[in-house]
Each structure stands twice: as structure tokens, then as C-alpha cells.
A = this chain, B = another copy of it.
Amino acid sequence: MAAQRRPEDRDEPGGAVEVLADLGEDELLDRILPLFAVSPVVLVPAGDDAALLAATDSVLATTDAMVRGRDWLEAWSSAQDVGAKAVAQNVADIAAMGGVPTGLLVTLVADPRTPVAWVEEFSRGLAAAAGDAGVAVVGGDLSSAPEGTLVVSVTALGDLEGRDPVLRSGARVGDLVAVSGSLGRSAAGLLLLEQGREEEAPELVAAHRRPRPAYEQGPLAALAGASAMLDLSDGLVRDGRRVARASGVQLALTGEALAGDVRALVGAVGPERARDCVLTGGEEHSLLACFPADRAVPEGWRVLGEVRTGAGLTLDGQHLRGGGWDHFGSGREDDDPS
């Protein structure tokens, strides 16, 4: 089933684009593996049947896939952006449990006509983001795919270093609700890309292309006694409702607490869209947590409201259902009405 090189691959004037079908799997690995840093927790690196990582007494594990055309568009995100984002969304999940990332496994399923340069740039973006998060790439897989397909699947492993995990279900009435990091910036950046206005606020577009959540706040929140936590991947309302549902409580937010977030986006996308981005914008990956009211909310977090009896998420007392992202598209909401 060796993929054949076709004449139309030679689509650059004056020369051929080197594509994956031109290389052996191991030749490709020889090019990209040196990009990845090592880490002291890696006891056996990639290259054997499995990698071996040190673990305190348990291991966190999460996985997220990205598909070209659905999770990114070639015209809007560079290969480096895709690599960086694949790291960010997985490491944010580890942080949201109160853990530190210890290893990444990266699978690339690609049309054999994918340029080798794309894979190299993807690996550079991935390696830089992994290095920034202090995590090593310890394994992966390369597979060829049908024409036009490009899929990146990342698994992140993490360690709680003896801390208890911070679940979505631990929020208690009276807790404060707080966020670490921005709200709505990724969605606003996406909107600008859709409108061809990316030059008007490049910092928002960058937040969409290459989010850098404050991972380090996850373990700090756990140490500060956070009762519940998650990362905001599908929007404040939808993800907030997940915490509410898992904990059997209501998250009561105030418009005043969000006013600054909205204001920061109004210039770029207008007042109505700014509010939507803050409330329902996905892929922000900031951490949302609840903290017992008798303990100080740690530095780097700002209070958005409080936990009350009831259900769902309210803004100044009004229930919000929020939109969100549904991967197979029936539009059915995944959180129960409340």
C-alpha cells in the first residue's frame, strides 16, 4: 500500500514539494524527534514498545484530537499554530485537575501528499509549546490517511504530586467562582479571521491561533483549596453549567465581574458580539475554579460570582443556557435544562 508520488505533487514552480510519501516513516522520525526536549521524569523515552514515565502514585490522562477543516483552517493557522494549540488544549486539561504535565503522545494521521515541511513546522510548534509547558513528547504514531485528511491526536499525561485531584463535582454553596486568564479572546480572534479583519487586533487572533493558558495556576489552585475546576474549552456558560451540574449547585455570576472582559473586546467586535464571546466563546482554555469563601482566592484569579443552591448558570440572576460546540452537529445541548 505504498503511496505513489503523483505528477501533480510537483506544484511549486521550479521545484518539487517534498511530501510524506517521499520519506520512510523512520526517516521522517529522524527529522522530527531531535526537535523534542527530554525531561527527568521520562525513564524510558520513545523508541521502545512503550515509554515509561515516573509517577508519584497516580497518573492523569486526557486526549484531544484536531482535524483540519474542522478544528483549523490551513489559511488561518500555520502548522506551528496547530502544534502549539494541540499541546495547549491537552495540558490545560491536566492543569484543570490540579496536575502538572509529564508526557505527551502525539499521533499524526496524514495524507501522504502532506508536505514534509508542514510536519516539521508542526513539530516545531509542538516542541516549543511542550517545552514551555515543561512536558516531554514520549511517544506517538504516524499513519497515512485518505486524500485531504490531516488529523492530530494528542494524549497528555500528568502528575498530581500527592495532591488530591480537583474535580468538577466539588463546588459547594457559598464558594466563590473565579477565573484565571482571559475570556472570549479566542472567539473574538476567530471572528476577526472570519471577517478578514485580523490585522485590526492581531493579539486576539494570536489568542485564537496559539492559546497559552496559565497552566501553572492549576496546581496552585489545588494547593489553595479549590473545590472544583475545569478549563474553558466550550465557553464560560456551557462549561460553567457543567460544573453546576456535576456539583448539584448553581453558579451565579455578575455582569459587573465580566464587564472588563467585554469592554476589552468591544473595539474589535462590537458590544453584542463582545458579550457573546465572553459568555460562549470556546477554545479559551483559561481555568475556571471554585474556592471556599473562607480561604483567599489566590493571586492570578479574579472572582466572577458565587456558588448558590439551585442549578445552571446565572448572570445577574438570569439563567443562561449558552451555545457551544457539538462535534457531530445535532445541536442538542449537552447540559440539562435547569
Contacts and interface: CB of A to CB of B under 8 A. Distances in A.
Contacts of A48: 97, 165, 167-169, 230, 246
A328 B24 contact: yes
A50 B99 CA distance: 10
Contacts of A61: 50-53, 103, 105, 138-139, 155, 157
A318 interface: no
Contact of A109 (B24, B44, B53, B109): B109
A307 interface: no
Contact of A57 (B54, B65, B92, B231): B54
A156 B105 CA distance: 10
Contact of A139 (B58, B63, B96, B333): B63
B53 A59 contact: yes
Q: Kindly state the interface size class of chain A when it binds its partner.
A: 35 or more
Contacts of A141: 63-65, 153
Interface stretch (A15-23, A171-179, A297-305): A15-23
A138 B60 CA distance: 10
A327 B140 CA distance: 13
A148 interface: yes
Contact of A44 (B57, B92, B167, B231): B167
A158 interface: yes
A310 interface: no
A49 B328 contact: no
Interface centre among A50, A96, A158, A333 (most CB of B within 10 A): A50
A107 B63 contact: yes
B70 A145 contact: yes
Interface of A: 1-4, 20-28, 43-44, 48-67, 69-71, 92-94, 96-97, 99, 103, 105, 107, 109, 112, 138-146, 148-149, 151, 153, 155-158, 160, 165, 167-169, 229-231, 246, 326-334
